[in-house]
């Protein structure tokens, strides 16, 4: 197992000390990263003590150390999962050949584009969440927000390392650009749509962690299959950290549901107005937030049928999540995949696409199944409390901006409807201005250890076996 060298300016397990040119280039990038963090990160909390975990190894057990740090002093570093001996290419046209330790020249631009796109999402989310600290529902949640923020910063480092180490001058330029684009910036926005959506309240934050970070999980899982071994190893370790982000999303939304059910019981009513009067989030409002973030996140997977997806699979650049364990056919040269497309007459028709071209859709399908898990759990809570309400994921055709269903008006079940009907019904399907204003009114900061805002139940347990009322962030 490789250990992480913490005596270096940049903690790493890639033997940076023995590559002076690379080390110098990254040490040059480091202060620019810190400037970006101070400007775009949770800068109002730069001087507070936060109980954070830091990577100290890369094996699954005991990889993290927990301790109190001020965020600007966090040790962002470069950590790759240990290599797998004699690893061979797991999919595509070069199946079975040894994996690559360098980027093959002919695939360079495809790799670069994927790495830059992944890298761009990491700082984007820190920028989106930049002001949330001021309205935290508890110190426990505040700590989780900061943990996610520092780890997204670390993920940026992970991608910047690959760019610097394997893409020469182009890579260094791209690494600079990753700090120059900003979420929601009119002139230089982040690359992907969802990463330019504002996250101004904690309901959006938990939805983002649940739906958008989960897109990240699936992208990382498919890059962890890559034939370019350093990229695969980088992504494998990122997934270890990423699991916590999804945990925050799932438990955050679950705690909101639990609190809402308590309030419904106390009020003896499931009327949204009655729930709101008690300062909690009514379930239909939660549903509208889910509709928004889920449909936005679906676009991140790209078009249903894509020649680009076919080439990246064929060339061994990007596989499917759990390629080895979930699939038998790793070449997919002559199989097909059935997709649903608009029939041009206001209906839906099935179309068979060559499997390789449908890889985005294969990924999206796996993602949707993963998204269902939390909803099942929350619906169980609702049912056990004795209410009929059911939270549902909208159809993957609903409100799409990319792919076969882009700008095709459909209802929540994916049935094509006409444009006027959509305009009439859409306000009931997405968070309205008054929904957002109400949610904003709930966002009062709670910072007494162990106390929770009225709209969210406490977590089942604290972090790293500490009690829920531990002072996870010392503000004074
Ligand atoms: Fe990330
Ligand atoms: Fe994440």
Question: Using an 8 Å Cβ cutoff, are 78 and 156 in contact?
Answer: no
- Between the CA of 126 and the centroid of ligand 1 the distance, in Å, is 10
- Between the CA of 208 and the centroid of ligand 1 the distance, in Å, is 12
For residues 52 and 65, give the distance between their C-alpha atoms in angstroms, rounded to a whole number: 8
Query: Quick one: which of 14, 80, 17, 10 has its CA closest to 231?
Result: 80
Q: Is residue 56 classed as helix, strand or coil in its secondary structure?
A: coil
- Between the CA of 279 and the centroid of ligand 2 the distance, in Å, is 29
* pLDDT band per the 50, 70, 90 thresholds, residue 351: very high
- Between the CA of 16 and the centroid of ligand 1 the distance, in Å, is 22
Q: Is residue 155 classed as helix, strand or coil in its secondary structure?
A: helix
H or E segment to which residue 28 belongs? helix 20-40
Q: Is residue 347 classed as helix, strand or coil in its secondary structure?
A: coil
- Between the CA of 352 and the centroid of ligand 2 the distance, in Å, is 34
- Between the CA of 419 and the centroid of ligand 2 the distance, in Å, is 36
Ramachandran angles phi, psi of 349, nearest 5°? -135, 155
pLDDT in tens, 414-446: 999 999 999 999 999 999 999 999 999 999 999
pLDDT in tens, 156-177: 999 999 999 999 999 999 999 9
For residues 229 and 27, give the distance between their C-alpha atoms in angstroms, rounded to a whole number: 24
What per-residue confidence (pLDDT) applies to 189?
98
- Between the CA of 238 and the centroid of ligand 1 the distance, in Å, is 7
pLDDT in tens, 125-141: 999 999 999 999 999 99
Ligand nearest to the CA of 213: 2
* pLDDT band per the 50, 70, 90 thresholds, residue 4: confident
- In the predicted structure, residue 62 carries a pLDDT above the cut 80: no
Ligand nearest to the CA of 155: 1
Question: Using an 8 Å Cβ cutoff, are 267 and 366 in contact?
Answer: no
Question: Using an 8 Å Cβ cutoff, are 226 and 315 in contact?
Answer: no
What's the mean per-residue pLDDT of the chain?
96
For residues 77 and 382, give the distance between their C-alpha atoms in angstroms, rounded to a whole number: 43
- Between the CA of 134 and the centroid of ligand 2 the distance, in Å, is 21
Ligand nearest to the CA of 158: 1
DSSP per position, 170-239: HHHHHHHHHHH--TT-SSS--SSGGGGS---SHHHHHHIIIIIHHHHHHHHHHHTT-SBHHHHHHHHHHH
Write 363-367 long-range contacts (CB < 8 A, 24+): 363/218, 363/222, 363/301, 363/320, 363/321, 364/298, 364/301, 364/304, 364/396, 366/218, 366/320, 366/321, 366/326, 367/214, 367/215, 367/218, 367/298, 367/301
For residues 53 and 74, give the distance between their C-alpha atoms in angstroms, rounded to a whole number: 9
pLDDT in tens, 284-300: 999 999 999 999 999 99
- Between the CA of 265 and the centroid of ligand 2 the distance, in Å, is 35
- In the predicted structure, residue 1 carries a pLDDT above the cut 60: no
Contacts of 2 (CB under 8 A, 6+ apart): 13, 58, 80, 82
pLDDT in tens, 5-23: 778 899 999 999 999 999 9
- Between the CA of 264 and the centroid of ligand 1 the distance, in Å, is 36
Neighbours of 318 (CB within 10 A): 27
Calculate helix-pair angle for 108-128, 213-223, nearest 10 degrees. Answer: 160
Query: Mean pLDDT across the stretch 58-87?
Result: 91
H or E segment to which residue 338 belongs? strand 336-342
For residues 368 and 373, give the distance between their C-alpha atoms in angstroms, rounded to a whole number: 9
Give the residues across from 54 on adjacent strands: 65
Question: Using an 8 Å Cβ cutoff, are 154 and 77 in contact?
Answer: yes
DSSP 255: H
Alpha-carbon distances of 371 from 172, 207, 391, 413, 432, rounded to whole Å: 36, 11, 12, 16, 24
- In the predicted structure, residue 2 carries a pLDDT above the cut 70: no
Query: Mean pLDDT across the stretch 228-256?
Result: 96
Ligand nearest to the CA of 121: 1
Give the residues across from 51 on adjacent strands: 68
Ligand nearest to the CA of 122: 1
- Between the CA of 120 and the centroid of ligand 1 the distance, in Å, is 10
For residues 253 and 206, give the distance between their C-alpha atoms in angstroms, rounded to a whole number: 6
Ligand nearest to the CA of 129: 2
Question: Using an 8 Å Cβ cutoff, are 409 and 421 in contact?
Answer: yes
The pair of structure tokens assigned to 24 is 């110098």
- Between the CA of 213 and the centroid of ligand 1 the distance, in Å, is 7
Ligand nearest to the CA of 154: 1
Conformational region of residue 48, where left means phi above 0, alpha means psi within -120 to 50, and beta covers everything else: beta
Calculate helix-pair angle for 283-298, 359-384, nearest 10 degrees. Answer: 170
* Residues, CB-to-ion distance under 5 Å, ligand 2: 213, 242, 245
Ligand nearest to the CA of 153: 1
- Between the CA of 239 and the centroid of ligand 1 the distance, in Å, is 8
Alpha-carbon distances of 433 from 183, 303, 442, 457, rounded to whole Å: 22, 30, 14, 25
- In the predicted structure, residue 316 carries a pLDDT above the cut 70: yes
Ligand nearest to the CA of 244: 2
- Between the CA of 150 and the centroid of ligand 1 the distance, in Å, is 10
- Between the CA of 221 and the centroid of ligand 1 the distance, in Å, is 12
- Between the CA of 386 and the centroid of ligand 2 the distance, in Å, is 34
Question: Using an 8 Å Cβ cutoff, are 148 and 41 in contact?
Answer: no
What per-residue confidence (pLDDT) applies to 79?
94
Ligand nearest to the CA of 246: 2
């Amino acid at each position: 197992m490789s250990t992480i060298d913490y005596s270096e300016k940049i903690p790493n397990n890639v033997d940076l000390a023995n590559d002076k040119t690379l080390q110098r280039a990254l040490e040059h990038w480091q202060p620019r990263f810190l400037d970006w963090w101070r400007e775009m990160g949770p800068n109002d909390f730069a001087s507070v003590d936060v109980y954070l975990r830091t990577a100290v190894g890369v094996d699954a057990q005991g990889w993290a150390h927990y301790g109190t740090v001020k965020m600007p002093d966090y040790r962002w570093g470069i950590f790759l999962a240990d290599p797998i001996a004699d690893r061979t290419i797991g999919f595509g046209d070069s199946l079975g050949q040894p994996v690559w330790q360098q980027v093959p020249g002919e695939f360079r631009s495809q790799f670069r584009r994927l790495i830059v796109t992944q890298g761009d999402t990491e700082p984007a989310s820190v920028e989106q969440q930049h002001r949330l600290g001021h309205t935290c529902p508890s110190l426990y949640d505040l700590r989780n927000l900061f943990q996610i923020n520092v780890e997204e910063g670390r993920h940026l480092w992970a991608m910047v390392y690959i760019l610097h180490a394997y893409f020469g001058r182009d890579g260094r330029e791209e690494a600079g650009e990753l700090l120059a684009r900003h979420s929601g910036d009119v002139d230089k926005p982040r690359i992907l749509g969802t990463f330019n959506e504002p996250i101004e309240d904690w309901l959006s934050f938990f939805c983002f962690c649940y739906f958008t970070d989960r897109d990240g999980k699936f992208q990382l899982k498919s890059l962890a299959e890559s034939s370019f071994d350093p990229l695969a190893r980088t992504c494998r370790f990122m997934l270890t950290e990423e699991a916590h982000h999804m945990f925050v999303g799932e438990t955050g939304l679950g705690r909101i549901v639990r609190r809402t059910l308590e309030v419904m019981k106390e009020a003896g009513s499931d009327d949204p107005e009655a729930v709101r009067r008690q300062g909690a989030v009514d379930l239909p409002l939660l549903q509208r937030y889910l509709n928004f973030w889920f449909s936005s996140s679906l676009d991140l997977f790209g078009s249903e049928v894509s020649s680009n997806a076919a080439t990246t699979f064929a060339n061994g650049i990007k596989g499917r999540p759990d390629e080895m364990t979930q699939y038998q056919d790793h070449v997919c040269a002559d199989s097909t995949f059935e997709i649903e497309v608009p029939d041009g007459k206001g209906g839906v028709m099935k179309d068979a696409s060559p499997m390789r071209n449908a890889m985005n859709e294969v990924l999206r399908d796996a993602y949707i199944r993963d998204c269902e898990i939390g909803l099942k759990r929350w619906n169980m809570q609702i049912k056990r409390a004795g209410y009929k309400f059911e939270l549902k994921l909208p159809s993957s055709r609903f409100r799409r901006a990319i792919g076969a269903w882009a700008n095709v008006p459909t209802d929540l079940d994916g049935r094509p409807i006409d444009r006027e009907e959509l305009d009439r019904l859409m306000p009931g399907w997405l968070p309205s201005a008054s929904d957002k204003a109400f949610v904003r009114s709930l966002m009062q900061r709670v910072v007494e250890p162990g106390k929770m805002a009225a709209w969210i139940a406490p977590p089942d347990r604290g972090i790293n076996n500490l009690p829920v009322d531990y002072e996870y962030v010392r503000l004074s």
